[in-house]
Amino acid sequence: MRRKFIVGNWKMHKGPADADALADTLKRALAGRDAKVDVGVAPPFVSLSAVVSRLKHTGILVAAQNLHSEAQGAFTGEISGEMLRQVGVAYCLVGHSERRQFFGDTDAFVEKKVAACFRSGLLPILCVGETLAEREAGKEREVVTRQLTAAIGKLQADQVPSVTIAYEPVWAIGTGKTASPLQAQEMHATIRGWLESSFPAFVARSTRLQYGGSVKGSNAAELLKMPDIDGALVGGAALNAEEFLAIVEAANAA
């Protein structure tokens, strides 16, 4: 059985004080729960230390939103995986559509970032997904499988289940639009099929696939009931504790 995995991506919100307060609310709400769900949060860099400290020994995981491919060097404004590990981070988002769209992260750079996660002891959450134009052109499967092949196609089979793959249709991020449960399931089935054809059978059975794209409490249950959707990468709804906890509960009940 693949445990459901819900991660809140706080994006460029919540400085240290506000992040600590939100983390504390989640900590209190989820304390002592007997859950079937893994829960994580991805604060901005400046808030990581506060959140790691607040969530220590709670079982709530902390992820970074990005990293550089190199361990150190003259890369002003960047953060390495090794630095993130020193802070106490366990996971790192890689290839988020906003990084690809606004900051020029290419497929080749995303591959290097996945490698940097493994080098530094972080677990990658690899984001893949198509734009509206690519979907309307009927290229959504081609785009997603290209991104997968570039990012993790060269990994050893036993490394791949350590990667969480988050399918995030770019047209459904921050727009209020959501892929229907069937649309989301179709792409998740495509991703699992690619894993089956690219690696030994155990890889597809054990790799977790998240859906990301305007997930909220009102639609989480239907999405998370789909057979190949193992969790959610939550954006805006993750900034509201009540809304995020509703998604966690939906995952627990799925």
**What's the per-residue H, E or C state across 205-251?**
HHCCEEECCCCCHHHHHHHHCCCCCCEEEECHHHHCHHHHHHHHHHH
Q: Which residues of 131-168 are buried (b: 16+ CB within 10 A; e: fewer)?
A: beebbeeeebbebbbebbebbbeebeeeebbebbbbbb
| Catalytic residue (choose from 68, 96, 111, 243) | 96
238: left (phi over 0), alpha (psi -120 to 50) or beta: alpha
Catalytic residue among 98, 134, 168, 243: 168
96 classed as catalytic: yes
Strand partners, 210: 166
Please state, in angstroms and rounded to a whole number, the distance separating the CA atoms of residues 230 and 166. Answer: 10
Other CB atoms within 10 Å distance of the CB of residue 102: 9
Active site residue 188: no
| Residue 147 dihedral angles phi and psi, to the nearest 5° | -65, -40
CA–CA gap between residue 60 and residue 56 (Å, rounded): 8
CA-to-CA distance for 25 and 245, rounded, in angstroms? 10
- Residues annotated as part of the active site: 96, 168
